[in-house]
Amino acid sequence: MLEDAVTAVNGVGEKLAEDLAAMHIVTIRDLLDYFPYRYDVYEIKPLRELIHDDKVTIEGRVVHEPSLAFYGKKRSRLSFTVETENVAIKAVMFNRAFAKKQINPGDTVTLTGKWDAHRLQITVSNYKKGAADQQAKMQPMYSVKGDVSNYKLKKIIQRALGDYGREIAEILPERYLRDYKLPGRQKALMTMHFPKNRIALKHARRRFIYEEFLLFQLKMQLLRKLKREATKGNAQRYQADQLQAFIAGFPFTLTKAQKKALNQILSDMKSSYRMNRLLQGDVGSGKTAVAAICLYGSITAGRQGALMVPTEILAEQHYQSLTELFGGDANIVLLTGSVKGKRRKELLASLESGEVDIVIGTHALIQDDVFFCDLGLAIVDEQHRFGVEQRRVLREKGLKPDVLFMTATPIPRTLAITAFGDMDVSVIDEMPAGRKAVETFWAKENTFERILGFIEKRVSEKEQAYVICPLIEESDKLDIQNAVDLYHQLQEFFPPEVRVGLMHGRLPAEEKEAVMKQFAENDIHVLVSTTVIEVGVNVPNATMMVVYDAERFGLSQLHQLRGRVGRGEKQSYCILIADPKGEVGKERMRIMTETTDGFELSEQDLKLRGPGDFFGKKQSGIPEFKVADMIHDYRALETARKDAEEIIETNLLAKDPSFTPLEHYLENQILLTEKLD
Ligand code: ADP
Ligand code: MG
């Protein structure tokens, strides 16, 4: 049986089994599922097609007795001549003295090694007596550990396939195999280990890529369904007419994309299921406006709302704009780390009694002593700034509220449907009309004075600038030192009428607030800052953004920073000061100057950085696929996602017998991985 221990395979003893276990190979199924990471291709080509320095394979007849030379202590060099296509080729083999006896004049040999086209010489890494074996053209290369050699592993897999291969059952319903022209599981698995040719391998891979994605997406969709059903009874009966009136009071009309997202969210809130939704939208696309409407919806349903943001600056800003927006319609409070003592006690009491309608705050919201009377809707802004655990705590507050996560870091679709596959996703992919794209330039540091001249001129025209100081990785303290230095430098450079301000994370809250207020009122013209202003800050009169050491930032982060300008009527500029060394760095700067579309940037960022780095350390949630690659195989991912949705929504696993093998396989996998939470 496939579930038997590997020791059931002939030639696998206790010692080998131990080494295999270290490679996570315990059962025969594990062994057969252990795919090569690459294939060495031995293909015999005509001599004139061989490329200098490439690894090549030739087949020829040994012309005369090899000669063996020793040098150093244990080192040797065996050389001989083989004839192929009537050309004499010199073959050299290092440190394999024993081969001398095996290679005799007149023998046909197949040699693989590095080709020297100038000297017509091959440095042999692998040889075989006899003609090239047509079947063995593509050699599987496995990643191995301990005493397990590639050769040994190949042999036992071959044996296991021979003895147990027939037990490999199909798990995909016939219709998918037919529609996508995928080979059956048994055949595909054999091909993965011992491909006959490239085309067969391609199709076998295609099958496993689809299978991996489908299984993963099914797990996510099942999880999503479980989460929803576990929390039935959470319908928020908001007053549609009041909402309409509220929206009509806005100084603008909602964009189509905002309306669509809003409808999706409201229908989640109205339903008896608990909302678990991600709202994505570029900086300035109007997410906060949508959030405000939803919070208002909760109030009209007689419930409470909470908005959690990553920084105090942002909390204060949201507090102000929501207070304005709601006027006297709601009791809104601000809860941050700087609310302390008696004031905090009173605030918590009014939150618990239900006197407060909406609370806006930072991490302070998820402290143990914060209780709600009836929390209906919890919104997390810039959700990627919070860890998984913090988000969970908020979800557990109150009686399992509807939860909306918002992000202005557009997440590439491929990542969104893997990392957030258990969530519903809404996207605002349209900007309010009349926004001018921020013009972006890439400059070298020696142009800094010219840039400052440009700033000075615009400041004289009543505009404002941010200057983001150099980033020192992992060191908040040095970043601040940099900001302080730069602040003094600019103060010296500019004439006294240009007022320079300083902002960084370690300033006391009151000072931060004061600085932001001065900047918002144009009492400060040039604001030197660390990346604390990266998220959410809204000062429409600021039209210039200078970023020092731009090559140290990720594309998405630069895009966030750039989003601080271009929020008003006037043309805005972003100047990236960078001197990247590598090609990738240069490419990133070029991309920044060429596009302002956050989604496109995030796709590019993903390509340049890879999925592991995209989210940073805090949050990964991205599975390791064996064969599939999210970026390269995104089409298969989309297809699998669509199929998984259909399977779960229409309950095919239970209803359609052709899905039974898939259902069983999935059940086993879930039991094995226990990752479902
Ligand atoms: P986000 O939270 O996505 O960054 P905001 O909701 O803060 O975006 O909106 C950015 C700015 O655009 C705000 O000043 C807001 O009042 C304004 N705004 C939002 N929606 C619209 C719209 N549909 N039309 C015009 N302006 C809008
Ligand atoms: Mg609901």
**Residue 17 forms part of a structural domain:** yes
Strands 500-503 and 526-529: parallel
CATH of the domain at 107: 2.40.50.140
- The answer to whether 264 and 426 are in contact (CB under 8 A) is yes
| Judgement on whether residues 448 and 502 belong to the same structural domain of the protein | yes
Atom of ligand 1 nearest to the CA of 254: 23
Of 135, 151, 177, which closes a domain?
A: 135
User: What confidence score (pLDDT) does residue 618 get?
Assistant: 39
| Judgement on whether residues 72 and 210 belong to the same structural domain of the protein | no
Of 428, 453, 484, which closes a domain?
A: 428
**Residue 606 forms part of a structural domain:** no
**Residue 661 forms part of a structural domain:** yes
| Judgement on whether residues 259 and 215 belong to the same structural domain of the protein | no
Distance 44 CA to ligand 2 centre (A): 65
Q: Is the CB of 254 under 6 A from ligand 1?
A: yes
| Judgement on whether residues 200 and 285 belong to the same structural domain of the protein | no
**Residue 620 forms part of a structural domain:** no
pLDDT tens-place string over residues 409-433: 777 777 777 777 778 889 998 888 8
| % of residues, the chain, pLDDT over 90 | 48
| Judgement on whether residues 220 and 170 belong to the same structural domain of the protein | no
| Judgement on whether residues 405 and 479 belong to the same structural domain of the protein | no
**Res 622 pLDDT > 70:** no
| % of residues, the chain, pLDDT over 70 | 92
Distances (CA, A) of 640 to 368, 390, 635: 41, 31, 9
Q: Is the CB of 284 under 6 A from ligand 1?
A: yes
CATH of the domain at 314: 3.40.50.300
Q: Is the CB of 288 under 6 A from ligand 1?
A: yes
Distance 371 CA to ligand 2 centre (A): 20
**Residue 631 forms part of a structural domain:** no
**Res 291 pLDDT > 90:** yes
Which residue has the CA at smallest separation from atom 20 of ligand 1?
A: 286
| Judgement on whether residues 223 and 244 belong to the same structural domain of the protein | no
Q: Is the CB of 408 under 6 A from ligand 1?
A: yes
User: What confidence score (pLDDT) does residue 441 get?
Assistant: 95
Distance 273 CA to ligand 2 centre (A): 5
Q: Which two tokens stand for residue 193?
A: 């280990």
**Residue 610 forms part of a structural domain:** no
89: Cβ contacts below 8 Å, ≥ 6 apart: 58, 60, 81, 82, 83, 120, 121, 122
Q: Tell me how far apart the alpha carbons of residues 40 and 365 are, in angstroms, rounded to a whole number.
A: 57
Report phi then psi at 319, rounded to 5: -60, -50
- Provide the 10 A C-beta neighbour count for residue 591: 19
Question: What protein residues have CB closer than 5 angstroms to ion ligand 2?
Answer: 234, 269, 402
Task: Indicate the pLDDT class of residue 460, thresholds 50, 70 and 90.
Answer: very high
* Claim: this prediction has a pTM higher than 0.85: no
- The answer to whether 373 and 303 are in contact (CB under 8 A) is no
Average pLDDT over residues 290-305: 95
| Domain region containing 202 | 188-230+639-677
Q: Is the CB of 283 under 6 A from ligand 1?
A: yes
**Residue 379 forms part of a structural domain:** yes
Atom of ligand 1 nearest to the CA of 281: 3
Task: Indicate the pLDDT class of residue 138, thresholds 50, 70 and 90.
Answer: confident
Specify the DSSP class assigned to residue 431.
P
Task: Indicate the pLDDT class of residue 617, thresholds 50, 70 and 90.
Answer: very low
Average pLDDT over residues 654-665: 92
Q: Is the CB of 286 under 6 A from ligand 1?
A: yes
**Res 636 pLDDT > 70:** yes
Which residue has the CA at smallest separation from atom 26 of ligand 1?
A: 432
Mutate to test the pocket of ligand 1, among 252, 314, 326, 541 (most ligand atoms within 8 A of CB): 252
| Judgement on whether residues 457 and 395 belong to the same structural domain of the protein | no
Burial of 130 (0-12, 13-18, 19+ CB in 10 A): exposed
User: What confidence score (pLDDT) does residue 675 get?
Assistant: 40
| Judgement on whether residues 493 and 569 belong to the same structural domain of the protein | yes
Q: Is the CB of 287 under 6 A from ligand 1?
A: yes
**Residue 323 forms part of a structural domain:** yes
Number of domains in the chain: 5
| Judgement on whether residues 542 and 583 belong to the same structural domain of the protein | yes
Of 428, 454, 471, which closes a domain?
A: 428
| Judgement on whether residues 13 and 153 belong to the same structural domain of the protein | yes
List the single range of 287-296, 396-405, 504-513, 626-635 with lowest mean pLDDT: 396-405
User: What confidence score (pLDDT) does residue 671 get?
Assistant: 59
Average pLDDT over residues 250-267: 94
Task: Indicate the pLDDT class of residue 80, thresholds 50, 70 and 90.
Answer: very high
Task: Indicate the pLDDT class of residue 21, thresholds 50, 70 and 90.
Answer: very high
Distance 436 CA to ligand 1 centre (A): 14
Helix (H) or strand (E) holding 441: strand 439-443
| Judgement on whether residues 48 and 62 belong to the same structural domain of the protein | yes
Which residue has the CA at smallest separation from atom 15 of ligand 1?
A: 286
Distance 286 CA to ligand 1 centre (A): 4
Distance 324 CA to ligand 1 centre (A): 14
Q: Is the CB of 407 under 6 A from ligand 1?
A: no
